Chain A
Amino acid sequence: MNQLELIGKVATEFLRRQLQNSKSEEGIARFLLDRLTADQVTNICKEISRDMLLFSTMAIKVPRKLVEGVGLPSEMVTDEKTTYWRNASCDKPAILLANTNDDQGQSLRDITRVGAGDLKSQPDIWVQVASSDLPLTDEQKRHWQQALKGLQEANECSLEEFSEFTVKVRETIAENGIPVVRAIGWALPALRIPRDSYYFDAIPENALGHSSRWKKLFTDAYNKRACYLYKQHPNRQIIENSEIQASYEKVKSQIDPSVQPIMELFIESNVSWSIAADNLSELEWEMDKVNLLFFELKPMKVNLAEKTLQLYDDEFPDTLTDVENLYLDNLNELFKKKKRRKLQRKIKIFTISTVITLTQTKC
C-alpha cells in the first residue's frame, strides 16, 4: 500500500463511520472532498467502489476537470458544478462530491466537509486501516495512535507526508516484525527527520499511552535534529560545508566505510533539502554514527573584536587610532583565550571520563 492508497482507505473508513452516525437522519447525506488533490480524490473514489456495501449507498459525483484521464467510471464523473449537487436529488441515500480550485468559496451549509485536516484528525482510523493484517495487540495499536496524535500536536505536516509516515511504519512492522515503538523511530525520514529506531525508547513503557510524551519527543526531533539535514544549527544559523567537513575528518575513523559515501555526498551538497539529505536521513542516527557528524558543531560565537578590526581594514583603512587598535587587539586575545580554555576543559573532561570508564571496565 502506498501513501495515496492509504489516504483512499482512510477516507473511505471515515465516510463509512459518518454514514453510520447519521443513519437516523432524514434526507440525502452530502459529503464534499474539500481541497484535496486529483490523485487523492481518485484514490478515494476507487477505494469506495471496491467496498460493495458503501458503494451501494453512496453516489459519487466528482468534477470532470479534476479527474480528467484517470479512468474513473463515467457515473462518478460530472460536468455539473458542485453547487448543482448541493440540492439535486439522488437515487442513493448519500452522495460524495469534490471541489476544484475554482469553486472553493461556495457556501457549504448542509454538506459535510472532508478535508486534509479532517482526515488527519482521526488517528484511530489511520491506525485501524494501517494495522490491518499486522500482528499487533490492541495496546500496541493504542500506542501508535497516541504517537500520531503527538506528532500532529508537535508539527503540522501535509496529508501526504502524514500518510507516507504511517505507510512506512506499517511496512517495517510487516517486513521486519519490529515493535511499534521502534518502527516509528525507523520511519522518521518520511517526516524529514533523521532515522533513529531507538529514539522513542526514551518513553517509559507505562507512558506510551500518553500523547504528550510523544509530542515532546517529536518536537525535540524537529527542533534539534531535523535542522541538521538542512545544514542548519538548531538556532537556524547556516552550517558551512567546511565546518561539517572538518567535523567529519575528526570522526571518520569511527564511521563504517559503507556509509561514508552517503555522508560525503551530503557534506558537498547545498544548504537546504537535497537528495543527499534524503539519503542521509535514512541512516541510523546513533548506529550509523550520523550524530557524530553534528556533535561537535556549535553555532559560531561572534568574535566582535576580530570583526571590528576586519571592518575597519576593509572599509576605513588607517582610521583607527593606536589606542583603538590596542584595545581591539586585547579584546581579540581575550576572546581567543576564552575559546582555548573552553576547549582545554572539554579535553580534560573527556580524558577524565575515559580514564574512569577504563578503570571501571577493568574492575
Chain B
Amino acid sequence: MQIRMNANGKLVIEVKLSASVATVDLPLQLVRYEFLSRVAEGALPGSFSRECYEDILGFKSKLLKRLEERRTIDEEESENDSDLSFRIIRLNPDGLIDDRIVEVNFDE
C-alpha cells in the first residue's frame, strides 16, 4: 500500500493486492484525508458527513472484490487445504487491535 500521485496529478491511496490484479485507488481529497487522520487518532467529530464513511465502505467493497479476483486467478482457495487458519482481528475496549490466529484441523 502506498500514497502516490496518479496520472491526473491527484493524490491517491493505492493498494495492490498482488502482481496479478489491478490496484484499487482511493483518491485523497482534503476532507477524506482529515477523516482518515481523525479515525486513526481515535476520535471523530460528528460534523463529518456520512459521505466520508460511505466512501470508505465503498473502498472496502472494491478491495474485497479485488481479493476475490486474486484468489481465483492465483488459485489460492486450495480445496485440498486440510488446515483452516483464520486471523481474527478485533478492537478491544481500549481501542487497540487484538490480532490472533486461530487454527482448525478439519479435513472433509
Asked if the two chains touch in their complex, CB atoms less than 8 Å apart, one says: no
